[in-house]
Amino acid sequence: MTTDHPYVFRFSASEPNRFDGGELQGAHEQNFPVLRDQEGSVYLIHLEPSGIREPHWHPSAWELNFVISGLARWTMLGTHPDGTYHNDLFEAGPRDLVFAPRGFFHYFENASDTEGLDVLVVFNTSTQEPNDDIGIVGTLNSLPRSVLAASFGVSVSAFDQIPDEIKPVVITRRHTGTE
């Protein structure tokens, strides 16, 4: 039985957004009307080998990340339950659930150079991605180079190679440094 129903979202029929490094498909209030005013959205992220979900934070949402397949390497920066502000690095595999609190700077990457990674992400917002993301690229590029230089304690020329566009990247891949 393949009849459409307002309470069913078919990821298999949804066209993914494709990026260098992977794909993103989402069910949100714009394409799944039953979510309107429900403060919820769901995304299926596929990362190719060496794929990265851009480092980012959400000002108005937390997220639950369920690893379907593959191995995810996580970085999470924020004020933790023990009251300290620090960076956590960890891995999560199939059937693991990772919580990213609202306002925590975080990202995950595919830990494998040969296998894909699939993660289902649930947000407590109906906003379409990346409209609730503040990514590292946009963050850096919204600041004057002189402010960045002062913050990092380096010369302004240290930032000459950073592209100056303010745009969401969402998904990319690790570079070896030789590109």
Residues of the chain with pLDDT under 70: 1-3, 128-131, 169, 176-179
The answer to whether 22 touches 49, Cβ cutoff 8 Å, is no
**86 burial class (0-12, 13-18, 19+ CB within 10 angstroms)?**
exposed
C-alpha 88: how far from chain center: 16
The answer to whether 109 touches 47, Cβ cutoff 8 Å, is yes
Q: Which H or E run includes 145? A: helix 145-152
Domain ranges of the chain: 16-128
The predicted pLDDT at position 157 comes to: 94
Rounded to whole angstroms, the Cα distance separating 37 from 39 reads 6
Architecture of domain 16-128: Sandwich (2.60)
The predicted pLDDT at position 43 comes to: 94
Rounded to whole angstroms, the Cα distance separating 164 from 99 reads 31
pTM (predicted TM-score): 0.88
The predicted pLDDT at position 179 comes to: 54
